[in-house]
Amino acid sequence: MRPPDAIDGSAPATFVVDTRPISRVLLTRSKRFFVLLGLFLLFMVIINLPVPSGLTPKGLKCIAVFFACLGLWVTSVIPLSVTSLLAIILLPMMGIIESSRAYGKFGNEAVFFILGAFILAGVTMKCGLSSRAALVVLQKFGGAPRRLVFGVMFCSFLLSLMMPEHAVAAMMFPIVSEIARSLGLRSDQRKYAISLYVGMGWGAIIGGLGTLLGGARGPLALAIFQESTGGKISFLDYMLVALPVALMLLPVAFLLLIVFLRCPLPDVGIARDALRARIHAMGRMQTDERATAAVMVLTIFAWVGWGHHIGLANIAIGSVVVLFMLGVVQWRDVEQYVNWGIILMYGGAICLGWALEDTGAALWIGKLTLARLADTPFLFVLSCAVITLVLTEGMSNSAVVAMLLPLGLSLTRDMGLDPRIAVYAIAIPSGLGFSLPMATPPTAIAYSSGLFTFRDVAVGGILLDLLAWGCFILTTWLYWPLIGLSLMGN
């Protein structure tokens, strides 16, 4: 996303001057240097340690690379994608795996599934189909103030089941802004505007949990799982486990929102008129929209029905090719909508995860950490979910998956558990960051309205984190056995 350029006499949003005391500025600016130095020293110390029992020399080197990358992912002193590239070059350079294998892992099916999903989402946004869908759904809910909030939330939820949550939030943001503006809210109704923005963010996050399309963490988890175990999890399998959690959370989040952001309710008739005017301005559905809608519907059916046999990535890329053949998308659109950094990040993370597993390093670390916390399968799931949830509030959810899943997979095998449990216990909670703006892109986009601060939604957000964790645990306890996911050892 680019900063807006100045027009006419308006100030150019090019520079920001940090006016904090110089000591704090210096500390912030030197953070990168000290973090890099610290991680380099840590790396050097680890590779020079005597090899502990139960670990191979390659495993020790892999742990050194893992901690270096972990530090870089957590602190974000260099972009996540560049850290992944570093992992790819370090692994062969240190003799852990061969270059050809390291780069080969980069071409994982999940990477191409994410690429396809990004392109499909981009086309949906570019042709206006997603905006039209959002406006139509919102108009249905626009009759009463609370229904309107639920409408915003539901709309974000629904779209995030089919496209990345950050794209949904970015697309919904101007619509929500227009609704809030058209309502002409009084100062005592400020909380109503906040509930619209927060509802948009929370709706997108919850929807993003439900399928593999809501965020790239799901496909990443599947790829790490596939590389480590050789097993496969289909689109439908994942949805069957994840969607109930999302469906449970949606009403819970809505109730929390209206309880914590109570305020005098505005007359929303004007907003409905604004939405109607906007739909009217869009005119009839164009050929591009119809074609995109048809391809999207077919793609989702194919993922659900034949994903296991044909392959998720093949379907995604195939759909993209069809869209190009139909002429509804140009390559420059792809360049605009695809986040290549994320693609690079996942390639490296998959490679590192595989190396950790292959060298036995993941199992060794897992035994030292997670296994000590959780000596029963249920406690293992509980601990994985808690650790993931806490970490995801402070760092990228994909980085959390890349970091924890290799350990989790090794432990499940060691405990004789179904390794899919580790995938779900980490991939699903990694999307449950509702409080902090850095937790997930939808939250960050909602915060960017500038209408509220962390304190305004802190209690509600933290409570929703806890309730989300509770919902997830409840499904593991009551629902998982019904779909054949046993927490009992083999």
Partner 1 sequence: MDELMRSASEMIRAPLDLWLPASPGDYIENPGYLKFDLMTRGIRVSETLLQDLHVRPVKDSARGVGSGIDLLLPEDVWVNTPVREPFVASSPYRLGRDDDGWRVVIDPPLDEFAGRWVSVGVGPKPRFLEKTLSTGRRTSAVVALQGELLILDIGNREEYWNRRLSSRRGEGLDLSGAEAPSVAEALEIVAAAAEEGFGGDVYVNAGLSLEPDGGLRKVEPYVQALKRHFNPLVRLAASPPVEEAWVDHAYAIGVDSIAYDIEVFDPRTFREVAPGRAGQIGRDRYLERLSRAAQVFPNGAVTSQLILGLEPLAESLKGISALCELGVLPLLSVFRPLQGTGLEDWPTVETISVAPVVAFLFHCARRHGIGMIWGRGISNEMTPLEARFFTTEDATAQVKRSKFYRSRAGAVVARNLAGLRRALRVRTVRDSFDSAGL
Which amino acid, residue 381? V
Tell me whether residue 13 or residue 255 sits nearer to partner 1 (CB atom): 13
Q: Does 12 bind partner 1 (CB under 8 A)?
A: yes
Give dist(CA 177, CA 181) in Å, integer.
6
CB atoms within 10 A of CB 5: 9
Q: Does 2 bind partner 1 (CB under 8 A)?
A: yes
Of the candidates 425, 419, 452, 423, the residue with the CA atom closest to the CA atom of residue 437: 452
**One of 9, 50, 230, 283 touching partner 1 (CB under 8 A):** 9
Closest approach of partner 1 to the CB of residue 12, in Å: 6
Q: Does 7 bind partner 1 (CB under 8 A)?
A: no
Tell me whether residue 144 or residue 444 sits nearer to partner 1 (CB atom): 444
Q: Does 240 bind partner 1 (CB under 8 A)?
A: no
Closest approach of partner 1 to the CB of residue 25, in Å: 5
Closest approach of partner 1 to the CB of residue 344, in Å: 13
**One of 7, 8, 48, 332 touching partner 1 (CB under 8 A):** 8
**One of 108, 139, 396, 397 touching partner 1 (CB under 8 A):** 396
Binding to partner 1 in span 166-185, by CB under 8 A: 166
Q: Does 25 bind partner 1 (CB under 8 A)?
A: yes
- The two structure tokens encoding residue 209: 């949990």
With vertex at residue 351, the alpha carbon angle to CA 83 and CA 395, rounded to the nearest 5 degrees, is 45
Q: Are 246 and 209 in contact (CB under 8 A)?
A: yes
Give dist(CA 164, CA 99) in Å, integer.
32
Give dist(CA 80, CA 482) in Å, integer.
38
Integer-rounded Cα radius of gyration of the chain: 23
Q: Single out the segment in contact with partner 1 by CB under 8 A; choices: 23-31, 182-190, 355-363, 451-459.
A: 23-31
**One of 7, 17, 281, 325 touching partner 1 (CB under 8 A):** 17
Write the DSSP string, 250-274. Answer: HHHHHHHHHHHT--PPPP-HHHHHH
**One of 63, 65, 68, 80 touching partner 1 (CB under 8 A):** 80
Q: Does 450 bind partner 1 (CB under 8 A)?
A: no
Q: Are 269 and 210 in contact (CB under 8 A)?
A: no
Tell me whether residue 2 or residue 455 sits nearer to partner 1 (CB atom): 2
Binding to partner 1 in span 306-365, by CB under 8 A: none
CB neighbour list of residue 307: distance below 8 Å, 6 or more residues apart: 234, 235, 236, 315
CB neighbour list of residue 299: distance below 8 Å, 6 or more residues apart: 120, 315, 316, 319
Q: Does 26 bind partner 1 (CB under 8 A)?
A: yes
**One of 7, 19, 187, 332 touching partner 1 (CB under 8 A):** 19
Q: Are 148 and 179 in contact (CB under 8 A)?
A: yes
Closest approach of partner 1 to the CB of residue 341, in Å: 8
Binding to partner 1 in span 38-77, by CB under 8 A: 76
Q: Quickly tell me which residue has 């509770």 as its tokens.
A: 470
**One of 38, 52, 54, 79 touching partner 1 (CB under 8 A):** 79
Tell me whether residue 5 or residue 188 sits nearer to partner 1 (CB atom): 5
CB neighbour list of residue 349: distance below 8 Å, 6 or more residues apart: 84, 87, 220, 224, 398, 399, 401, 402
How many residues bind to partner 1 according to rule CB under 8 A? 28
Closest approach of partner 1 to the CB of residue 7, in Å: 11
Give dist(CA 253, CA 434) in Å, integer.
10
Kindly list the residues in this chain that would bind partner 1 in the complex (CB under 8 A). 1-3, 8-19, 22, 25-26, 29, 76, 79-80, 166, 396, 438, 441, 444-445
